Amino acid sequence: MAEYDYDLFVIGAGSGGVRASRLSASFGARVAVAEERFLGGTCVNVGCIPKKLLVYGSAFRQELAEATEGYGWSVGDVGFDWSTLIENKNREITRLNGVYADLLDGAGVDRLEGRATIEGPHAVSLNGVTVTAAHILVATGGRAFRPPEIEGIEHAITSDEAFFLEALPERVLILGGGYIAVEFAGIFAGMGAEVCQLYRGPLFLRGFDDDLRTHLAEEMRLAGVDLRFERVPTKLEPSSAGVRATLDDGSVMEADCVLAATGRKPYSGELGLERAGVRLASDGAIEVNEYSCTNVPSVHAIGDVTNRINLTPVAIHEAICLANTLFAGRPMAPSHEAVPAAVFSQPPIGTVGLTEAEARESTAEVDIYRSTFRGLKQTLTSSASRILVKIVVDRRTDRVLGAHMVGHEAGEIIQGLAVAVKNGLTKSQWDSTLGIHPTLAEEFVTLREPASAD
């Protein structure tokens, strides 16, 4: 008779939890996964997937404008129906929920509904029943955060609710300077709403390359977004128009909707982690070692709840490594170096590797290759939008340390370049690669003279 009911009990059926469950089961482990909300986690339900669908929907307005101005297209009356988009989005998310269920069932994983809590190093309680497991994996992700210091913050929605608004607000006030705030600013503005974004710092997207941050701010202002840095609300209150916001300079704004896109926090509270003796960081993140194991050998954590790099592919990578470590006899530590990322702002950002500031801190000699130019597509229009591409190079080794872009399909382009950066290709090797003409991407292999150097 087995010592435990399961070899692995997973709390959270997001991207990381599902991958860990399926792969562990394929290695012969007896696995159960519990989910209290929806299969697929944040990414599928209130994150990557619905967000990108809304980005697609909002981008058509500018596409139509350019098509009629520069490319000879003539269209009749143009209208937009928010409810149609949301209905279609909801249908696709429901389909994906079903796909995840089928994948788990097909892998032989016991799929449980409800909130699971940890009762001890090897015990989990769910719906009044306690089961045991040799290993417990916490993959509960994060939850949207409202800053409590703002009086009346309960009158603001978070990104979770933004995906289910019954109507498109005409005036939107967005709080925050992270990628979620930037992306929703583009979404609402692209759909025709009047958008104002407030951020407490001097420039949004902290942690990204400074040239990208500055360039995107210019592009967003060109698109009509009212960006106000070093400005925050001190009070929100209901008004006849929706919500009234009093800012820290004493000015007052009215909006139909206030979106608090002020970050997400690890969802680690009230899970019973303290009963097992699991250590948490000050921000609530579960502390883990390089193999995603907590200070309790039988309890593990991956994904956003560990607050390492909060990206879906990272959570999946951590899941793959953990399953191999625990059940395949192949210890694997996930790599968090040269992780590519995109911000689906309008225009989007793509980035991989070191920023210029990070490179200058890590090496004494850095060359910066940079180009700002007008995309061919915009040359037949009056658009003032410009593309930015940038490469960071270690002069001593010629290795490309980072590649960054703001412009159409930046995420798609950087994905390919991530292979080169991850594998340490040199600037000379980039230069020896022929470009595809005419494309935006070719600029990365035609940059010849450094824009600046140490």
The residues carrying an active-site annotation are 437
**CB-based contact 407:440 (threshold 8 Å):** yes
